[in-house]
Each structure stands twice: as structure tokens, then as C-alpha cells.
Amino acid sequence: MSALTHHDITLLLLGLAILLAAARILAELAQRWHQPAVIGELLAGIILGPTILGALWPSVQQVLFPDTGPINTALHALTTVAITLFMMVAGMEIDISSVWKQGRAALIVGVLGIVIPFAVGFVPAWFAPSALGAKPDSDPLVFALFLATAMAITALPVIAKILMDLNLFRSELGVTIIAAAILNDLFGWIIFALVLAVMGSSAADMPVWQTACLTLLFALFMLTLGRWALNRVLPWIQAHSSWPGGVLGFALACALLCAAFTEFIGVHAIFGAFLFGVALGDSQHLRQRTRATIDHFVSFIFAPLFFASIGLHVNFIRSFDLTLVLIVVALASLGKIVGCTLAAHWAGFPRKEAQAIGFGMNARGAMEIILGLLALQAGIIGDRLFVALVIMALVTSLTSGLFIQRTFRGKRAVRFIDYVSAKTFMPELQARTKQDAIKALGTLAAQSAGIDAEDAVSAVWRREQIVTSAMGNGVAVPHARIAGLKLPIVALGFPSSGVDFDPPDDVPVSVIVLILTPSDANELHLSLLADIARVFQNERMARRLGEGARNLTELRAELNVETSSRLHA
């Protein structure tokens, strides 16, 4: 009954552990440099695959990640399940109703943002397929349709992440970009499913028209009746089953079932999981906690394994073709940026913002890579074009972040913790009065900035005497502007016994954040205060920090967790 031997299991588990660890570590590094995690995950696979490990140490590479045999079958099965669930989560992020809310602007950008790059991709692919890396034996229409779709698709998660990093996610610009990208994704995948239907009907033993009809019917069903039925059945499941086991099991079993169905009719499994995710994610009965559990496990475990596994089978150096890469990047960027900028301008956005929308929609990321991989597996394209598409996906993701950042002059979110150092953090502040506390923290801050301590302390104290700096929720924020200071300095102290700052809500002050800012940095000063108000928006946070954080690492950990869980839940 054992299909895998003792030896196979050892190597499979070891391979998975190495793949997951490498993918997560490189993803964290990518995010540290404000790049999408998928870049790091791909790189992990390229390092562990034939491109690098295979070139340096081929025997080890083939033992861990062989090209044939039971371990290869096992990895293929695991990554297939992983990408299926990843696409379900990607679908869950598609909120159809938000498209209607954004109305005309999103519609124009969404539709023209597909049509123009589609045309820009289709024409050259139709007239000069070989220059674009088509296989000699591939059907020219299928190839042209595929390349056109590949040019037209957009990476919703990458765009969302860029907008979030730049604090633009909730702005009108941000919401329009997101709504347009949602529309774009939905159309793009349905078109691609039809391309796959044309390709895959032979494997499914069905005539093309039947596969295509079933695909459209399934999509239509999922977006209408399926959505409605899911919304009705979720409360019933939550009432009559254990939580969250009932919903989790139901969601995953249905996703796998839909995936099996679309695989059966000849389009790829991921298409069924994606559409199921769209229908499920729209239900207002799906709880944030359930959503977060699925999302966390899939995004941080399954997605890294899948994207890393891509590099295991393709040699990115041998299949690298500079001309092809340049052509693909140019065609993709041209169609998307020009198309979306024009559309946004037409929809009424000023020039600068229209350009930002154009560049924002140009990000491809993970979706392009998945599309390319499916085409590679289906035999529509070869390794060279696949590598070019992957590089195009990375380049467009990188450049759209950089461009939007430059256009909006790097309005990166300000965090007070970034200005706290180990030297300016006093977990056990010995101070009985307001004046003592300000003196202790002000001296620390001034010393760390290399400015006169007495001046700084008296400036803060003068400010404090005008009106209390206690904000409520257990926090006080004594502060002053200091002429000649280069960068803001934040000192943080947790008084060991209550200090009377006369707070508006009578909650005892357990966290004191002392801020010194350059006298000309007005906006930065306000952003710091706003960040502190956001972090301490309830009493709990001050109490938790005062009790839990004994050094800078623990402090960062507490703040990091609190911020992330707010983003997700």
C-alpha cells in the first residue's frame, strides 16, 4: 500500500522544507525592499532548480527535485492543489459589487484597459508568431489569442499592495484602479479559459464548441445563481456545524469540486477554483476570521510552494532570449500603459493621475506567471517565451511601484516606531511626575540626536504647559519642534507607576511617546501624531505594550502583529 518508499518520503519532506523555507525567506527580503513577495518566491525556485543549483551541483538538485519518478509526481500533485487553492483565494479578493459602485470611470478603464493591450498583443502575434517565440507546430489563432490575453491581464494583488504601501488604497484614485483591475481580471480569465477550451477540448474528448459553451455557462452560473446560493447556504452551515470547521471544509471541498469540473471540461482546474472563490468571497456571511484563516494558510504556505516550484523545471539562463524579453516587455507596457492612461483621461482624471492609473494597471505579477505556466503546460508556448513572460511580469510589477511612488513623491506611510531606537526606548521609566518623565525621555532623545538636552527638554515642557499632551487611551505625546534638527527623534517610555498627565478620559498614562521634529517638517510631524493615534485607538494597546514589550524587538513584534491583524481582520 506504500506508493512512496521510506527513502522517497524522507526526500519529499526534506525538499518541501527547503523549498518552503527558501521561498518564505526570499519573499520576506523582497517585501523588505517593497517588492511583491512573488519575486522572492520565484527566485527561490530558480536558485533550487536547474538554473543555479542544477548547474553547480546537478546530482543534489536531481535527488531533491527529480524530473521523473514518484517524488516528481508527489510534488506535482501538491503544487496543483496549492495553485488551485491560491486561485480560490485570488477569486475571493474580487469584489464584483465594488465595480458597480465605482461606475463609469472603472468601467471605461477596465474595458479599454483590456481591449487596447489585447489588440496590441494580438496583431503582432498573428502576423509574426515566430518572432514572438511561437512553437512552429502551434495553432496561430490559439497562439495569438493567448499572447493577446497575456498582454491584457493585470495583477490585482500586486496593485493592491502597491496602493496600500503608498497609502492610496482608500483614495478615489486607488479605488478606481482596483475596480478596473477587478473587471480586467474577470474578463481576462474568462477569455483565457476560452483559449484553453479551444486547446483543451481534444484532451477532454469534446468538440470545441461544447467546451466553450460549458465554460461560459459555468462562469455565468457561478457569477449569478452560484453566488446567490452560496450566500444563502453559508449562514445555515455556520449555524449547524462546528466553527470554523464547517465553513472551511465546505469551501475547500467545493473549490476542489469546481476545479475538477473545469479540468474535466478541458479548461484548467484553477479556473473553477477561481470562479468559486469569486462567488464565495462576495457573500457577506463569510466571516473575516474564516477568510483570514484560509488566506493566511494559502498565501503563506501554498502560494510560496507553488511559485517556488515554477523555477524547479525551467532553466532561466538557458532559455533567456534578450530580444524576445525586450519585445514582450515593450509590447506589454505599451499596450497597457497607453491604453489605460487614455481610458482614464477620457473618464475624467487629470493627466498625472491618469498616468498613475496606466502604470498601476501595468503590474502583472503572479497572474501573468500562472497564465504563462498553463500555456507552457498546454504546449501553446515554449520555454523561451515562458521565461520572457515571467521576466515581463516582474519588470512591470517593479516599475509600476516605482513610478507611482515617484509621481506621488514617496508618500510612504509614516510609522513612529521607525524613529525609535534601542537608545531612546525606556521600558522601565522611573518617573513620578510629568516633569520627571519629560526630562528623562527628552534627554535621551536629545543625546541620540546630538543636540542640547536642556534646550530640548525645556521646549517640550513649555509646549506641555499650554495644554496636556495626553491623548486618552493611556497615551501621552509630549512634543516640540527643534530648529536645526535633521530627522525626527522619538523616545518611548513606560512609566513603572502612574504619572499624572491629566488625560481627557482618566485612563492612567502607561505609554509616553516624546517626539522631537525639525521645525520645518510640518507634515511629517502631523503624520507621526496621526500614526500614534491610529496605533493607540483603544486602551488595550497601551496596556499590552506596557506589560509585554521589554525590549525593542518585543516592541516591534507587538506593533507588527497589531497592525497586520488589523489589515486582515
Residues 46-85 that bind its own copies (CB under 8 A): 67-68, 70, 72-78, 80-81, 84
Least Cβ distance, residue 287 to its own copies (angstroms):
7
Q: By three-state DSSP, how is residue 555 classified?
A: helix
Least Cβ distance, residue 338 to its own copies (angstroms):
34
Q: How far apart are the two ends of the chain, measured CA to CA in Å? A: 43
**Residues 6 or more apart in contact with residue 173 via CB below 8 angstroms:** 349, 353, 356, 357
Q: Does the protein bind its own copies through residue 249 (CB under 8 A)?
A: yes
How does DSSP assign 134-180, residue by residue? B-TTS-HHHHHHHHHHHHH---HHHHHHHHHHTT-TTSHHHHHHHHH
CA angle 385/387/392 to nearest 5° reads 90
The residue among 416, 421, 425, 447 whose CA lies nearest residue 494 is: 425
| Stretch in the footprint of its own copies (CB under 8 A) among 95-103, 261-269, 393-401, 492-500 | 261-269
Burial, 451: exposed, middle or buried (Cβ in 10 Å; 0-12, 13-18, 19+)? middle
Q: In 10 A of CB 374, how many CB atoms?
A: 23
CB 490 within 8 A of CB 528: yes
CA separation for the pair 178, 163 (Å, rounded) = 9
CA separation for the pair 44, 17 (Å, rounded) = 12
C-alpha distances in angstroms, 52 versus 27, 33, 44? 18, 23, 10
C-alpha distances in angstroms, 122 versus 130, 146, 243, 411, 541? 13, 8, 49, 38, 55
Least Cβ distance, residue 354 to its own copies (angstroms):
32
| Stretch in the footprint of its own copies (CB under 8 A) among 99-107, 294-302, 317-325, 422-430 | 294-302
Out of 111, 139, 208, 244, the residue judged to bind its own copies by CB under 8 A: 244
Tell me, what DSSP letter sits at residue 489?
E
Least Cβ distance, residue 518 to its own copies (angstroms):
28
Q: Does the protein bind its own copies through residue 418 (CB under 8 A)?
A: no
- Residue 500 or 554: the one with the smaller Cβ distance to its own copies is 554
- Residue 74 or 105: the one with the smaller Cβ distance to its own copies is 74
- Residue 75 or 394: the one with the smaller Cβ distance to its own copies is 75
CA 196 to chain CA centroid, nearest Å: 27
Interface mask toward its own copies for 301-340; x: CB under 8 A:
x--x--------x---------------------------
What is the DSSP pairing of strand 479-482 with strand 470-472? unpaired
* Residues 365-384 within binding reach of its own copies (CB under 8 A): 376-377
- Residue 220 or 557: the one with the smaller Cβ distance to its own copies is 557
Out of 260, 326, 422, 487, the residue judged to bind its own copies by CB under 8 A: 260
Out of 61, 153, 263, 509, the residue judged to bind its own copies by CB under 8 A: 263
Q: Which three cell numbers stand for residue 242?
A: 462546528
CA separation for the pair 299, 303 (Å, rounded) = 5
**Residues 6 or more apart in contact with residue 170 via CB below 8 angstroms:** none
Least Cβ distance, residue 426 to its own copies (angstroms):
18
**Residues 6 or more apart in contact with residue 491 via CB below 8 angstroms:** 420, 424, 425, 426, 441, 442, 444, 445, 448, 513, 514
* Residues 441-500 within binding reach of its own copies (CB under 8 A): none
- Residue 9 or 395: the one with the smaller Cβ distance to its own copies is 9
Least Cβ distance, residue 78 to its own copies (angstroms):
6
Cα-Cα-Cα-Cα dihedral sign, residues 115, 116, 118, 123: positive
Report the DSSP beta bridge partners of residue 482: 518
Total residues at interface with its own copies (CB under 8 A) = 86
Q: Does the protein bind its own copies through residue 269 (CB under 8 A)?
A: yes
Least Cβ distance, residue 241 to its own copies (angstroms):
5
Least Cβ distance, residue 72 to its own copies (angstroms):
5
C-alpha distances in angstroms, 11 versus 15, 66, 77? 6, 10, 16
| Stretch in the footprint of its own copies (CB under 8 A) among 5-13, 146-154, 420-428, 483-491 | 5-13
Out of 34, 139, 210, 264, the residue judged to bind its own copies by CB under 8 A: 264
Least Cβ distance, residue 523 to its own copies (angstroms):
27
* Residues 537-566 within binding reach of its own copies (CB under 8 A): 553-554, 556-557, 560-561, 564-565
Least Cβ distance, residue 396 to its own copies (angstroms):
23
* Residues 107-126 within binding reach of its own copies (CB under 8 A): none
φ and ψ at residue 454, rounded to 5 degrees: -65, -45
CA 396 to chain CA centroid, nearest Å: 15
- Residue 68 or 130: the one with the smaller Cβ distance to its own copies is 68
Least Cβ distance, residue 282 to its own copies (angstroms):
18
φ and ψ at residue 134, rounded to 5 degrees: -70, 145
Q: Which three cell numbers stand for residue 463?
A: 509646549
- Residue 53 or 357: the one with the smaller Cβ distance to its own copies is 53
Least Cβ distance, residue 175 to its own copies (angstroms):
24
- Residue 296 or 352: the one with the smaller Cβ distance to its own copies is 296
Least Cβ distance, residue 8 to its own copies (angstroms):
9
Q: Does the protein bind its own copies through residue 257 (CB under 8 A)?
A: yes
- Residue 101 or 232: the one with the smaller Cβ distance to its own copies is 232
Q: Does the protein bind its own copies through residue 409 (CB under 8 A)?
A: no
* Residues 180-239 within binding reach of its own copies (CB under 8 A): 200, 203-204, 235-236, 238-239
